Structure 1
């Protein structure tokens, strides 16, 4: 009997133990499944967060300590694959009320009403002329008060603080559909189509600070080779501009001894940790005199801007600065990508070297000159300290020949037309000044009175790796006229005699 009772008790104990074990297993299984679903949900939510919030848009503090929320550009989420166009760019133009009546004429030359967006930031109000002038200029705004900021540079002007804050003040306007903020001065001339083409290369969702250093070696040493000179213009991507706005007022206080606006921007970029992305088509023009040598041997890059227009001679002879730029606008309309691009070819029969700076000038040289020499700018200009010394430039230059037989025959642009049927541009160039007589016993370019250049626009010119165009001199069919064809080089074509 007792043995039977013991067996029954053992059986009951086993049954209870088995039941408890199943309950515990079910409990742990339930906890594991719940944790698994929770983890998957957490990961999914985190991934969605990362995908849907490409920017950080902090609340910022103004000089008045009033919070100003900044909204993201709406096109970021709606049109992620749309190419950057002129509507995505907002210009900030630094201007002086003292020079406004003169400098506004430069802005009118490149500003495109109803297409370009931006503001001119002045130190104080200016008189607005009657009529429709306000329709052909950017919106005029007065910069915020900067009297609270220290300024200690002995030879500078504290307006540099005001101008350095233009990007931040523009961000605070809360404009929509913005990808890039572009800074410039009131004496800066922009080629807007080429600016757009340059910015299309870069992801506007990332931090980018794009521009170029100075043409003066000493200026770059005084400031920095890694600083974008503001007069030549520079571009800041939207998220970087937001980051700059968040910290700039504190940053400015740390640099009271700096000279101007662009070195203050550079100092803040250094604190954010963003280097300068160099684009050589932005031209500060820290030079004096005739910039023909620089433009006739322009780098293989889109021409984006020209600065210091009052410091240099008009780019076309016997014209005013405004008239010269008006003439340049004609080739800009038909082929802005090809503007100032140099082609080098030879008239083998006459042993002449030809250099075409499309839309600007054509040069004829006696003799055969190598391409590596022709692509070097001739020193037709003085450096920032008004000296002709060749060591003052951060790039190679060559002397402008004094030998009368080696001086180029220069033909400047006079007319631009576009053939709709052939889809081809025709630019004509004439010589303004006679060349001195040369005793060399060889063909004399004096017989050439005008040059006609045929060229088809290439809309994909800057979508490919950089390469100089080729040109070919045609047989002269009209007395006194040379005909040249400029075109894309063949795959294995070289520039040789």
Structure 2
């Protein structure tokens, strides 16, 4: 009841004398409106004053300053600006350095001959005979390397040979192969011993034998394709399938030569002596090297220009159909016949060096063309030999080596080679007329090499084919423009063209890069 009386009293106060209810919000509403207007004016004035103060105390933004920075005072402005500029400049320097390193990585300075170090395995017993092979290709003023011998030998001044050193003792390493010789251990350590000499600016170590002949310019061309800062083990296989089966299809044969990048040589040096201890039963030096490469996890990178030449007899078939790749090395010079007839082995190699000096990239490269009016097939192995054959033999046949050589295993037949071959023809009419290199020179007027090839005077069987007889041709003259960048492009055989000749006893041929649409066809 008390609560109801109170409510009634409040209700009476809220009524006007006329009896109408009084508005509760009439007076407070006007007060609130004035309060809001006042607050808005205060905020607006404060914002204007703050903005004017900010504009009057700020300096112009520095070009390299931060976009969201402002300065509280002249001194702090200067310090902040300097710090910001230094930070931006440091970032730019780091970015430029990264870009330069990336550009150097993508296009490093080309490998030069002075950055290759040769390790040549030799024996005192054969040194007097085989040192002449090294003299043929060695250039003392431009090359670095060591000949590693098992015993001291007599030396003479100014022989034009690399320095001679005696290999370290290897009697502490076991050797149990009954068919081999323990000198294989000494030879397998040549790369490591050469590395320990501490030569500067070395990119590659190249291993070879004392009867290995290198074409140094082509060696540089091949190695320049690879990043010397990575692990690379580069070489080639044997020509004998049985040799590759017995040893390994993943092994570089040391006689043909192989190359090891500098970082890989350093890694090899750290573990090779331990590695050799684990393989006492292996036969030679190159299979020991490959065993250590397998432990390092580095496969063989195959380059077909390294030639082991595990064959006997005449290399003509192999050289006249050289693969489309730079000629890098020749091996087993003592085992095969001289590459040019009627001269000594050394004289034959010296003759090969004449065209090598004119156009090393094109040395031994094959070109195939046809004398259409006479129906002759012509094959040019530039700097070595030219063949003229009656009839038409396809390029597919001509690029296969003819079997003028014998297998390393004398009882093996033609199926024991690690590449395709073709038999020496039994048809007397298709016995090739061979013209060997006689002279070569460079003609500065035409900017071409001029090489002459003379017919090898051997009996030819009678032929009943009714077509012109190549026996009437006594010489072949070949014109070729040197192309030092031949191997910078995708591999392709050069093309040759039969040119008109004023002399019936002479054939003239032009050899060069194939023209647009030009192919070897008749």
Decide whether aligned partners of structure 1 residues 443 and 388 sit closer, same or farther in structure 2, where only a CA change above 3 A counts. farther
Q: Does 2:130 match 1:103?
A: yes
Q: 1:461-476, aligned counterparts within 5 Å?
A: 461-476=486-501
**When the two structures are superposed, what TM-score results if normalisation uses the length of structure 1?**
0.83
Aligned to 1:322: 346
Q: 1:344-493, aligned counterparts within 5 Å?
A: 344-387=368-411, 389-434=413-458, 435-493=460-518
Aligned to 2:203: 179
Q: For residues 367 and 438 of structure 1, what CA distance do their matches in structure 2 show?
A: 12
- The answer to whether the 8 Å contact 1:381/1:388 transfers is no
1:248 counterpart (272, 279, 293)? 272
2:218 counterpart (194, 214, 217)? 194
Aligned length: 425
Residue 132 of structure 1 aligns to a residue in which SS? coil
Residue 281 of structure 2 aligns to a residue in which SS? coil
How far 1:388 sits from its partner (Å)? Answer: 6.5
Decide whether aligned partners of structure 1 residues 387 and 481 sit closer, same or farther in structure 2, where only a CA change above 3 A counts. farther
1:164 counterpart (188, 197, 203)? 188
Q: For residues 456 and 506 of structure 2, what CA distance do their matches in structure 1 show?
A: 15
Structure 2 stretches lacking a partner, 5+ long: 1-86
Q: For residues 454 and 391 of structure 1, what CA distance do their matches in structure 2 show?
A: 38
How far 1:79 sits from its partner (Å)? Answer: 13
CA displacement, residues 94-119 of structure 1 (integer Å, 9 cap, x when unaligned): 00000000010000000001111000
Q: For residues 494 and 276 of structure 1, what CA distance do their matches in structure 2 show?
A: 34
Q: CA RMSD in A?
A: 1.9
Decide whether aligned partners of structure 1 residues 78 and 145 sit closer, same or farther in structure 2, where only a CA change above 3 A counts. farther
Structure 1 stretches lacking a partner, 5+ long: 1-39, 55-76
How far 1:378 sits from its partner (Å)? Answer: 0.1
Aligned to 1:143: 167
Aligned to 2:108: 81
CA displacement, residues 339-358 of structure 1 (integer Å, 9 cap, x when unaligned): 00000000000000000000
Q: Does 2:239 match 1:215?
A: yes
Residue 231 of structure 1 aligns to a residue in which SS? coil
- The answer to whether the 8 Å contact 1:410/1:431 transfers is yes
- The answer to whether the 8 Å contact 2:433/2:456 transfers is no
1:112 counterpart (128, 133, 139)? 139
Decide whether aligned partners of structure 1 residues 364 and 80 sit closer, same or farther in structure 2, where only a CA change above 3 A counts. closer
Bigger-Rg structure (1/2)? 2
Residue 268 of structure 1 aligns to a residue in which SS? helix
Aligned to 2:41: none
Q: For residues 105 and 232 of structure 2, what CA distance do their matches in structure 1 show?
A: 22
Q: For residues 252 and 463 of structure 1, what CA distance do their matches in structure 2 show?
A: 39
Q: For residues 199 and 242 of structure 1, what CA distance do their matches in structure 2 show?
A: 18
Aligned to 2:81: none
